[in-house]
A and B are shown apart, each in its own frame.
Chain A
Amino acid sequence: MLDLINVAYDTQIPNNVGLSSDKRVLKALEKWHPGYINWWNDLGPDGFQESLVYLRTAVSVDPKGWAKFDYVKMPEYRWGILLAPQAEGRTIPCGEHVGQPAWQEVPGEYRNMLKRLIVIQGDTEPASVEQQRHLGKTAPSLYDMRNLFQVNVEEGRHLWAMVYLLQKYFGADGREEADDLLRRTSGSEEAPRMLGAFNEATPDWLSFFMFTYFTDRDGKMQLESLAQSGFDPLSRTCRFMLTEEAHHMFVGETGVGRVIQATCEAMKEAGIDDPYDIEKVRALGVIDLPTIQKKLNLHYSLSLDLFGSEVSTNAANAFNAGIKGRYQEAKIDDDHQLHSDTYPVIQLKDGKIVWEDVPALSAINMRLRDDYVRDASGGVKRWNATIEKTGVQFEMKMPHQGFYRHIGVFADANVDPDGAIISKEEWDAKKDEWLPTKADGDFIQSLMKPVWEPGKFASWIAPPRVGIDNKPGDFEYVKLHMA
């Protein structure tokens, strides 16, 4: 009998999908595998392929088995194909087919739409590994280095997850798309990654933390809505990916929080009360709060762009087709078809920001973005609690959703962080107060010096409150073997 909970190791590719009895897909994946390993070695974490990293690997997809910790060399990580258990009697949760049995095979009429969603999702996974490949060299601690690598190997696994769907359900086209996922490269001139935010470099650790907090959270919301897909294999894949994605959220939220904490504690110790006394604060070897706010502004706005246009026909079609739901679709109390519902959407009318009710079906992106904003504000609240605890007078804020946008209704407008529409001249004069400048970047870069002694942390980041896997503070999370 097929064991669909525990991971089988009887093929080169660990899986819980019975790969050993699915020769066609097994062969296709085995053919893809060497290219993946090459990609990992060429574009994965630079300089640490021989190091032993304390990573978690899933040995089953039930709660007891999916977080087994041990030392492993990253190229030997068991990337596998893991789907959440099939829910019996699951039905299509939304759109015109709502209530019908969920599809176990690709519905022909939505084949292309589905493939495109999977390819876009798949393309972001290796992209972030590429963007972050140089960060290991400036890790502020072995703890943080380990967390980076955990994120990286799991993004690698998420690529596998999408490639499996392409190989299994999309035939020759799927194979081609799977190959292309390894061909495109973040920041490349001739074959860049598909989404803008994934072609920007991640130059320093604060950017990494902001990226995992804000940009990976877009990924989380996309996964949440794909987990609501009527195409059951996609839903199951995404449900398991979400359990891993939670770790990435954790790295971002606690990473930024620890940077903030180090700053506030250093200020208190030095008797500096004014958070805007930037030179003095920077002299302490920590990142001043206004600069952290600027980084927040930047990453938040770039991430909002990933949700696409507020009003979107594509999103409406995907929802109506039942292949992409809303955030926590099953918990929403409505008809799940949105025939006559409306949803308030932000608009720019005659130079003013207004809210307008539009047909809810066309506002799927807006709704997901609203859910995202709510979700993201939770961490900002925690960061402010940290600041408040130290007695420093400062508050982190998420800027207005019109601020520094390149997609959607605000693409051509100049909006300040408080939501006021301003002139181009005013924007140009003020933008350095709101967004990180080259000088800010240079300063942050100057702090990026490796700290690799177990239990030690760079001056600009506080130690975590709890170790990974409950390990003590001086645990050697990475055993370095430098090439």
Chain B
Amino acid sequence: MNAPLKQHLIDPEICIRCYTCEEACPVDAITHNEDNVVVDASKCDFCMSCIAPCPTGSIDNWRVVLEPYSLEEQMEWMELPEQAEIAKPEGSDQDGGDIEALEDSVERLLAEAHAGAGGKAKAPATATKPSINLYNLKKPATATVQGNYRLTSEGADSDVRHIILDLGNQHFPVLEGQSVGIQPPGTDENGNPYLPRLYSISSPRDGERPNTNNLSLTVKREEHGVCSNYVCDLKKGDEVKLTGPFGATFLMPNDPQANIVMICTGTGSAPFRAFTMRRQRTAGEGGAMMRLFFGARTSDALPYFGPLKKVPDTVLEKHLVFSRAEAVEKEYVQDRMLKQKASLAELIRADDTHVYVCGLKAMEEGVEAAFQAIADEAGSDWHAIRDAMRESGRYHVETY
């Protein structure tokens, strides 16, 4: 079987045949007949030079295919074909749906991370279409470190870093919830290059500040962790090779009135920082309430504790809970969820609620049990609710 391949296509219903893309393409991959403008899959190298000049947005379409659509086929189209269901690479236990990455190893990592949702992950209906795997190990993007800040206090027992990577002139479109891959330089004891690690992006799609071409990561230094130590030691001006972006399901809904419930521990907060900033930038205080259940050992070990406090309560209802704080009873996210059972029971019944769980694998069980208890008490069937939510792209788990 052929490996799945990403193909760049033009939506013939939206295209106005101005041929601007054809002029912009540096490798002459774009051509046309009288009806349609088409892209040659054997030539297109995803340089993205054609994307910005397109006046219609029709150019920004991608399909994962086993056999690329030929020029002749594309020229006949009256409309763009739907994404076909494609078998996943070997080793993945998913059987289709959204393609999260084109590299088997990354696809497998994400499939594993998303397994906690109990079935095939799906993107929210109103999520923006993600770009995936524009860069790979053979052709990585090069980012420059713009800043590296410690998020946890010096005294805290964990070292979590906020790292800002400047992408310069490279086109690296990301969405909140997506990840990037970093391959540490050097080789392991067998002389093989290290495997790349995935990190969730913690900044919104338009950058740390609006319209900056950068992204941020939230990385915890792991003892003996080759990649996390490499990333946490990066200095301003250092260059880093990035792959990705990856992930096509753990994305936020564009609908500003969608309820969003976010449950996380530690660096699992990364995507939720991005979600919150995105919602604030697009809807201000006019969007639906977002809710965050965020657990850490102590407040000085909770990444973004300070900035989080500053997000208005009208935008984000914050439940920051601590399992080792002095003079307070130990509390985990699931404990707080149970205390909020009335509102959560109502939320999971609403059909515009999106739930996201992100953090260590170990948290899954507690969260699942809390939802189970909340649903039971309300007389509903948690698994049925969860499956329905997941089927409609509203229940997402990413744990590792």
Contacts and interface: CB of A to CB of B under 8 A. Distances in A.
A250 B78 contact: no
A260 to B, nearest CB: 13
Nearest to A251: B55
B17 interface: yes
B13 A64 contact: no
Contacts of B17: 375, 378
A378 B55 contact: no
A289 interface: no
Contacts of B34: 374, 378
Contacts of B78: 385
Given A385-B78, A470-B60, A246 B49 contact: no
A68 B212 CA distance: 12
Contact of B56 (A65, A250, A378): A250
Chain A: interface size category: 20 to 34
A465 B13 contact: yes
Given A378-B34, A466-B57, A66 B18 contact: no
B35 A378 contact: yes
B49 A63 contact: yes
A479 interface: no
B2 interface: no
Contacts of A468: 57
A63 B24 contact: yes
B312 interface: no
Contacts of A108: none
Interface string B107-145: 000000000000000000000100000000000000000
Contacts of A65: 52
Contacts of B13: 382, 385, 465
Q: Is the interface of B mostly helix, strand, loop or mixed?
A: loop
A253 B49 CA distance: 24
Given A246-B20, A246-B55, A64 B171 contact: yes
A243 B23 CA distance: 9
B16 interface: yes
A75 to B, nearest CB: 22
A62 B24 CA distance: 8
Contact of A253 (B16, B23, B171, B282): B16
Q: Is the interface of A mostly helix, strand, loop or mixed?
A: helix
Interface string B21-41: 001100000000011000000
B192 interface: no
A338 interface: no
A246 B254 contact: no
A381 B77 CA distance: 13
B60 A379 contact: no
B50 interface: yes
A64 B57 contact: no
Nearest to B17: A378
A468 B60 CA distance: 13
A242 interface: yes
B53 interface: yes
Given A381-B35, A466-B56, A246 B14 contact: no
B42 interface: no
B53 A250 contact: no
A70 B20 contact: no
B190 interface: no
A453 to B, nearest CB: 14
Contacts of A242: 20, 23
B20 A243 contact: yes
A244 to B, nearest CB: 9
Contacts of B58: 466
A470 B128 contact: yes
A47 B58 CA distance: 33
Interface in B48-103: 49-53, 55-58, 60, 78
A254 B16 contact: yes
A280 interface: no
A64 B170 CA distance: 9
Contacts of B128: 470
A457 B202 CA distance: 36
A247 B52 contact: no
Contacts of B20: 242-243, 246
B52 A63 contact: yes
A472 B254 contact: yes
A435 interface: no
Interface string A453-477: 0000000000001111010100000
B52 A246 contact: no
B16 A246 contact: yes
A67 interface: yes
Interface in A279-333: none
A254 B56 contact: yes
Contacts of B14: 254, 465-466
A64 B16 contact: no
A246 B57 contact: no
Q: Choose among B17, B53, B55 the residue with the greatest number of A CB atoms under 10 Å from its CB.
A: B55
Nearest to A378: B17
B211 A70 contact: yes
B19 to A, nearest CB: 8
Given A249-B18, A381-B35, A385-B78, 12 more contacts: A62-B49, A63-B24, A239-B23, A242-B20, A243-B23, A246-B16, A246-B18, A253-B16, A378-B35, A465-B14, A467-B57, A470-B60
19 contacts: A63-B24, A63-B49, A64-B49, A66-B52, A242-B23, A243-B23, A246-B16, A246-B18, A246-B55, A247-B55, A249-B16, A249-B18, A249-B55, A250-B56, A254-B14, A378-B34, A381-B35, A382-B13, A466-B14
Pick the 6 closest A-B CB pairs, nearest first.
A246-B18, A247-B55, A63-B49, A466-B57, A250-B55, A63-B24
